[in-house]
Every structure is written in C-alpha cells, then in structure tokens.
A and B are shown apart, each in its own frame.
Chain A
Amino acid sequence: MTITFARRAGIVPAIAAAALFLASCGGSGTESTGGDGETTFVTGLASQPEMLVRSFTSDALTATVGLAVGEGLVRTTKDKEVVPALAESWDISDDGLSYTFHLRQGVTWHDGEPFTSADVLFSFQEVLPLSPTGAVLTSTIASVAAPDDATVVVTLKQPLAPLLLALGPQDFSIQPEHIYAGTDLLTNPNNRAPVGTGPFVFDSWSGDTITLTANEDYWDGAPAIGRLIYKVIPDSNSRANALVNGEIDYINKFDVDDTIVKALEGNDEITLQNGRVSATFMTMWLNQNEEPLNDPEVRKALYLALDRELMSKSADPEFTEPAAGSFPTGLWATDTGIDYLDEYGYDPDAAAALLDQAGYPEQGDGTRFSVRLRYVATQPYTQALAAIITDNWRAIGVETEPTQDEATVNSDALFAQQDFGTNLLSLDTRPDPEFGIGRVYKCNPDKLAFNNPTGYCNEELDALFAEAARTQDQAARAEIYAQAQEIIAADLPALTLLQADQPDAIRSSFGGIDEFLSGALSGDLTWSALEP
C-alpha cells in the first residue's frame, strides 16, 4: 500500500519533466539559418552596455554594439593605418595645424535625413567635450569650421601627430545634429535607440537582447548578414559554452578572458584570432614613496629576480610573451636596441648581489624586506603571476604581502590613495604611444586614474613625450621615443612583465573574418564584411 501511494505522488513531477522534455524536442524548429540577408549573427556580451553611443562613455561593450550603427570620420586598421570612413579624404597643412576633411557625399542617417558637415561641426563642438576618451582633444583644438556641406576644417593650437588616430569611432563617433541639437545630450533617448550612418540599423533593446538589422542603403553596400543580435551572458564559462554550443557566434576580444581561451583552444569550429589591437602589458608599478622601492637598484634587483618565461608559460604560452621593453614589440616607435630580457633577464643570483650592494643584506631569518602586492583577481593571469612573483622574490629573501582586490577597490587604492607597494595591472598600449604608453611613466601630479601612480616624475622624460606628440614625421618621432625608452630602462619606474593579446573568438564557418577583425580597437569591427 505504501508503495502504491508513493508512486502516485511521484507521477506529477514525472509528467511535468516528461512534458518539458518533449517540449525541448520541438524547441529548435524555429531557428532561422542560412539564406542571403536572412542570417542572424549573434554576439555574446559580458554585460549590458551602458548605452549605445560610444562618444558618451568609455564602456567597451557600448562600442561593440554602437559602432555597428554609428561611425567616425576615420578608422584605424590593425597595422595602425588611418583609413577613410565618413571623411572620404583629408588634407593636413604643412605646419600640422590645419586638417581639412572632405566628407563622403550621398550618405543618409538611418531616419532618412542627409548627413552633412553640420553634423560633424555639431559633433566636434557638442559631442567631443562629453567623450571620456576624446575630451582630452578639446584643449588642443582651436576652432572647427564648416565652409560648405561637404567640408570641415579643424584648426589646432599646437600640432598633434596622432590626431587622426584619436578621431577614430571608439573615441569620437559623429552624431546627428537634427536629433541632438537643443537637448541634454547625455540623457537623449537616442543614446539607447541610436540613429547612425553605419551598416546596421537599431531595431530593439529588450532585457538582455539587442537587435540590429541590415542597412540596405549603406554607403559601402548592404551587409550580407541580415540581423545582428547581442545577448548578455555575464559568466565567462557560460559564454564559452554558448559559443561551443552554437547559441552565439562571436565574443569580442574585450569579453574573452583566459577561462574562455582555455575552453576554446583546439576547437576547430572556433577561430581564435589575435594581433588585432594594440598590445596589452601586464604591468607592475613600484611605489616610489615607499622604502626601499624608491631605490632604482632595488627595482632592478626585483625585476632580475622575476622569471617572465615561466610567467608566460603558466599564463598562456600562445597569447602572451615575456615583455621585451616598455614599448610593445612590433610597434614603429619601439627601439629594438633595448631588450629587457637581455638587460634584465631572469638571474636570481645577480638580483641578490645587487640587493647586498644596495644595502639590503639578508637578516637573521633569511629575509631582507617585504613588499606589498595588490592586484585584481578577476583580471586574466593575475593569480598565476602573483604566485610566481611570491616564489621568485622569496628566493632572494624578499617577502611578498599579496592583496586581492575587486577592480574599483584596486583603482581607488592605487590612483586615489597611492596605498600600494607593487601591483599588477593589465594596461592597454593603445594605437599611439602618446595615449597608451606615456601615461604609465609621465609625471602625474593630478593623480589621474590609470596614469602613473608611483610618484616617479622625470621632467626630461615628460619633455620627450611632449616633443614626440608635436612631431609629424614618424621616423623623427621614433627617434625621440627611443630616447624616452632609454630613460625608462635605466629608471624602471614600472616593470613590464608580459605582453599579452587576447584573441577575438568567432565561429569559423563565417566568411570575411579577416576583414571583420581588421580594425585597430577592440570595439571597431568591420561589420559589413561579415558573410554567412
């Protein structure tokens, strides 16, 4: 009798489970696949974008979505070459002070209004000052004029060699004057349902899903993909699983972390492609307000004691390499005569001897001093690196006191409080040394975040960076940067440990992947090049 009763009670969940399972079998029938312009391309995002107009935020995810809709005057390829976008061509005056942009003709906004120089003028005057990454240009720009519908002239106060690199869509996308004029730009509803000139038209943003459709009137021809869908999947394991399972087709390199790389490596259906954007350095700053880190000899000894080959092997041998200098390998501005791996190659004995000389002998218990190490545990590779650092330094009698921080806590401690000894932080070198590398070493009296927090301030070095920014000729700039690299190598205010480059992850079955991933910045993708 007991058993009869139990069976009956168990029937309800069993039926429910069976019903759900049966339902699952019919669930996949509604998917659309193949067909010209019918194909849907799904991108997995790590979190909800803040808005869809990148000019008003530095949010990387905003760029991944928003730059399929909006465009800039120019774009930069991964070879750091500036190519036309909304500006078809441009002339630069001999003194480097005046830039004349000739705008593409016959382009219309997605709402049908024509695109003209008035939009560009408006964007320079009203949009650029609100761009977290572009606002820095406003102090360099003297005036902007639109002599006719197809021309815009930008006049600078002083030459800025990498100006065009700074006008890419990720820092400055052109916005429609007819929608924004006279409104509060930051709260304009267009920011979440943007009207642009790009290859895809905004369709909807509901919950965790954003949908764009092909712009049939795109100036470079209608895209072959009919629909772009962006789906938020916060957990990186889940994101990797969804890509393996074919539920999504692409993860932008910004949202690819080491968990995802490990999960996808060796899978033929997925292409992992790197080398697209400026390299990232896993950087260690040494706080020079603290003893004994203010002693350059101590900094050299600490660097000599670190086994960067092992770090790269343990992090990811395919997508990281030991850093060879303060500038990334392969960049035009990098002085190949400087090689940290030669000059400061792994040598614990030399490190110990250097510390003895510098006046930090081993105490009775075998230690010399201890150093704090702060890092963000969720940043790629930091955990593995911290373990190696602790081991390496212990071998020369230096104790490490590691602290794992959450990202915002870490930046507060580093940049606002200068409450650290050493740290680990992944820093993007950006397409031009002026924007990505200078900040690591230049004086930083205003305590700007993500700029040198060490208290190191060398006016000679600052003057070199300033001169390089003003110089137009690339070869001449490279010479100036070479001098800067020598000073950095001698003073070592920061140690570059690994040069890393996270790949984009995309399903291999799509065509045009190389061109799709030809832009220099993580969110600047050539969406119109994708083919089913």
Chain B
Amino acid sequence: MLRFTARRLLHAVPLLFGVVTLMFFLLQLAPGDPIQALIGDYPATPEYIAQVTEAYGLDQPLLVRYWEYLQQIFTLNLGESLAGRVPVADLIADRLGNTLILTVTAMTFAAIVGVAVGVWAGVSRSRTLDHLVTGVAVGSLSIPMFWLGQMLVLIFAIKLSVLPSQGMYSTRSTAEGLDRLPDLLTHLLLPALVLAMREIGVVARIVRTSVHDVLTLPYVETARAKGFSRATIIRRHVVRNSLLPAVTVIGYNFGFILAGSVLVETVFGWPGMGQLLYESIRNRDNAVTIGIVLLIAVAVVVVNLLTDLVYGLVDPRIRAGAGAGGRA
C-alpha cells in the first residue's frame, strides 16, 4: 500500500511539471498584452508602460522568465499577482476553503442522491420508472450549469424571495463564528445543487447499470435460492458490489466539479477559487491563472489517489492485488 502510494505520487511529478510548462507557454501564446490589460482604457505614456513592464520583469526573454518561474515553483512560491502585487499563494489561500465548502457539499450531495436514485432505478421492475430516472439523469447531464443557475435564482430569489441570489454570507449580516452557519447554508443551497446536478446524473446512470449487472450474477441467484428476502439480497449483496464503479466515477469526476465551480461561482458570486480564476483570465493575470490550474491539478492527482485507496477498501481483491504490486 505504501509503495503503491509512493509510486503514484512520484508519477505525479512529471504530470505537474507538464501542467506548469504547458500553461506557461499557452498563456504566452494567448493574444493580448498583460500590461495593457493592467492599464486599461487609458492612453498611458510609453515611459510609464516601459517602467511597468520592467517592474514586472516582462522585458526579459521568454525562456529566462520560464526558468525563473520554475525555480520559484520549486520553492513552492507561486509568484505575485500582476494586478494587486499580492502573493498568489495568499490570494488562493483566501479562496480555497470557500471552494472546498462548495465542491465537497456538492460532491457529497451528488453521491448520496446519485447512488440512491441509481439503485432505485436499478432494482425497480417498473420500466417506466427506469426510463424516467434515465431520462432525468441524461437531462441533468445536458443542462448548462449557468442557465440552470440563473433559472433557480429567478425562481427562488427573485420571484419567491426565499433564498439569496448570490454570495456566501448576507452582506449586511453582523453575525460571527458559528452563528453564521444558517446564513452559510442558505447561500450554499442553490450553487451546491447546480454543481451537483450533473454528477447526480452521471452517478445515477452508472449505479443503475451496475445494479442491473449484479442482479444477473450467479451469487444473487444463490442467495435467492437460500431464501433471503429481496431487501436483504439488495442491501447485502447487490448495493455493496454495485458501488465500485460509483466510487471510481465520483472520485475521478472531482476534477469536473472543480472545473464546474468556475461557472457556478461566477453565476452565484461565490467567493472561491473559480471566481478568482475567471477574473485572472479576464485580467491576463497569468501568475494567478497558472497557480490555480496547478493547484487544481494537484487536487485531481490527490483525489484520484484517494479514490484508488478507497477502491481497495471497498473491494478487497484490489487491495490484495496492489499489495503484490500487480495493479497497473
């Protein structure tokens, strides 16, 4: 197990190096000038532009800047934001927790609802119900998040006035500490739901298929022959064994949830990393953009690793295989 973990982590190094390199050069290729984006709609003098360009080291050759950036990253220094001259790490640290609150809630919600709906559709003998669940799952996959977000805001915030339209806390609230929890939950409901929607569809479909498959396996037949009730069979034998693909999907889709949070955070004014990424791309604040993408890459690597480890817990066969170094 330890060796497996170490090897997976080691594999991540070239991957992260690739992410940094690709991002660095892609952002250089992108049209538009960071200095002009910084100065904005104003005719600044050439002296001023030269002065700012030099101050940010943007007058250096590309490869020199790349080398300097790599050295920085190696010492875990993500550089400074072009616009605010604040360390990128501080900016991200300020937002990371907020994004985790949103994504982990959405993920958990998607897992619970997705598995429940999937099992329900899988064991049901009603074809109508099965079609309905599949249809809704496909629908939830296809609805664009920003559209769904806007619609929910229009209904629940503007028409019914029961939920806030945006933000993480009421701007006027003076509550502190734990007293802020109800306020937070109110603000969390819509964005987490929208973010979870797509994953619910994915998970439900996978679990449904998996349950269908498991139901036809010989050991289910055997259990039935032994006289176990249907509920017991489903609980003990079918659900546990159908969860394996769901764990994989949920884990591997964490990257999608993080990516989706960019849209959802923008629509709902959620002060997380996604919003920061959106702003940094718009402002050509490349250090911030690379920093966030790098962090997302690290998060995906870590979550995928955790997924593989959980996989082992759920399925002893894999644990045994990994122990023998046999798993690729």
Contact = CB atoms under 8 A, between A and B. Distances in A.
A5 B229 CA distance: 12
B219 to A, nearest CB: 19
Contact of B165 (A207, A229, A245): A245
Contacts of A95: none
Contacts of A47: 279, 282-283
Looking at chain B's contact residues, the main secondary structure is: helix
B85 A187 contact: yes
Contacts of B164: 27, 245, 247
A27 B172 contact: no
Contacts of B32: 406-409, 411-412
B84 A51 contact: yes
B166 interface: yes
A68 to B, nearest CB: 16
B220 interface: no
A31 interface: yes
Interface residues of B, number: 79
A241 B153 contact: yes
B153 to A, nearest CB: 6
B83 A59 contact: yes
A12 to B, nearest CB: 5
Given A132-B42, A245-B157, A23 B186 contact: yes
A198 B163 CA distance: 36
A48 B279 contact: yes
Contact of A439 (B39, B43, B183): B43
For the side of the interface on A, what is the size category? 35 or more
Contacts of A30: 170, 173-175, 179, 183
A135 B44 contact: yes
Interface stretch (A231-239, A316-324, A384-392): A231-239
Contacts of B278: 234
Contacts of B98: 207
A132 to B, nearest CB: 5
Interface in B96-145: 98, 109, 112-113, 115-116, 119-120, 123-125
A192 interface: yes
Contact of B185 (A27, A135, A191, A248): A27
Given A132-B39, A192-B84, A241-B158, A234 B269 contact: yes
Given A27-B170, A245-B157, A247-B171, A208 B40 contact: no
A409 B42 contact: no
A183 interface: no
Which of A48, A49, A409 neighbours the largest number of chain B CB atoms within 10 Å of its CB? A48
Contacts of B158: 241, 244-245
A47 B158 CA distance: 23
B55 interface: yes
Which of B31, B166, B170 neighbours the largest number of chain A CB atoms within 10 Å of its CB? B166
B281 to A, nearest CB: 10
A235 B269 contact: yes
Nearest to B189: A20
Contact of B39 (A31, A58, A412): A58
A5 B171 contact: no
Interface of B: 31-34, 36-48, 55, 83-86, 94-95, 98, 109, 112-113, 115-116, 119-120, 123-125, 150, 153-154, 157-158, 161-168, 170-175, 179, 181-183, 185-186, 188-189, 229-231, 234-235, 266-269, 271, 275-276, 278-279, 282-284
Interface of A: 1-2, 4-6, 9-10, 12-13, 16, 19-21, 23-24, 26-28, 30-33, 40, 42, 47-51, 57-60, 132-133, 135-136, 186-187, 191-192, 206-209, 229, 231-235, 237-238, 241-242, 244-245, 247-248, 406-409, 411-413, 415-416, 427-428, 439, 446, 448-451
